[in-house]
């Protein structure tokens, strides 16, 4: 899904056994409940395709019902009436995975350079976004994919700002007064 799909909190139209429904992006405020169902599915799959999802339908049916209840407009009754439609269920799960790719994306193992880092919490991420102009209520209503994009961009901007400070400090330490004044005037525009 592209950035505009994420930013507009759009949903994906889907036809499930002749019924038109929508597959929605999971919002941050519902992430804990969604993760309770979706982590089991995510951890059970090596890749995401109808072929890999179909054999997991029976053992994971309760988790599939959970993610469909949270991420689609399909009613539980209609889902239960069609529980034998394995290919339709697999196709629906695949669309839930596509729309909520930010959650289902496999995390890359980052090789540490021997440094011990502090684990970040949700509060750290929220505080960081609030510091960068977002409101708590807005963050809670963001789709999870948008939350991650905003967090990445805010971190990128902060790294760029630190780099700019480092350059300015280096220029200040190595410049003659006249060169420094010229540099500051150039920055002021």
pLDDT of residue 11: 92
Residue 152: other Cβ atoms inside 10 A? 10
- Burial of residue 76 (CB within 10 Å: 0-12, 13-18, 19+) is exposed
Distance of CA 79 to the CA centre of its chain: 26
**What pLDDT band is residue 162 in, cutting at 50, 70 and 90?**
confident
* pLDDT tens string 16-40: 999 999 999 999 899 999 999 999 9
26: how many CB neighbours lie within 10 A of its CB? 22
The answer on pLDDT for 116 being more than 70 is: no
Residues in the chain: 189
pLDDT at 115 (0 to 100): 54
Half-sphere exposure of 105 (CA within 13 A, CB side): 12
Q: Is the pLDDT of residue 64 over 90?
A: yes
Domain ranges for the chain, please list them. Answer: 3-104, 122-188
Tell me what the pLDDT averaged over the chain comes to: 84
Mean pLDDT of 53-60: 94
CA 149 – CA 21 distance, rounded (Å):
27
With CA atoms as reference, report the closest residue to 129 among 146, 108, 112.
146
Under the banding of pLDDT at 50, 70 and 90, the label for residue 121 is low
What pLDDT band is residue 109 in, cutting at 50, 70 and 90?
low
């Amino acid at each position: 899904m592209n950035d505009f799909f994420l930013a507009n909190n759009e949903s994906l139209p889907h036809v499930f056994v002749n019924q038109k429904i929508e597959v929605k992006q999971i919002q941050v405020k519902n992430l804990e409940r969604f993760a309770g169902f979706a982590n089991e599915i995510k951890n059970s799959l090596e890749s995401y395709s109808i072929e890999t999802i179909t054999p997991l339908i029976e053992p994971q049916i309760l988790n599939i019902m959970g993610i469909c209840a949270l991420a689609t407009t399909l009613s539980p009754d209609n889902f239960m009436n069609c529980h034998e439609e394995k290919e339709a269920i697999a196709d629906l799960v695949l669309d839930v995975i596509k729309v909520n790719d930010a959650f289902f994306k496999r995390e890359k193992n980052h090789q540490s350079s021997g440094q011990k880092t502090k684990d970040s919490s949700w509060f750290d991420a929220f505080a960081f976004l609030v510091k960068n102009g977002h409101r708590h209520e807005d963050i809670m209503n963001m789709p999870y994919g948008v939350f991650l994009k905003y967090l990445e961009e805010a971190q990128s901007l902060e790294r760029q700002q630190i780099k700019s400070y480092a350059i300015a400090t280096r220029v200040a330490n190595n410049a003659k007064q006249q060169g420094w004044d010229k540099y500051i005037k150039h920055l002021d525009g």
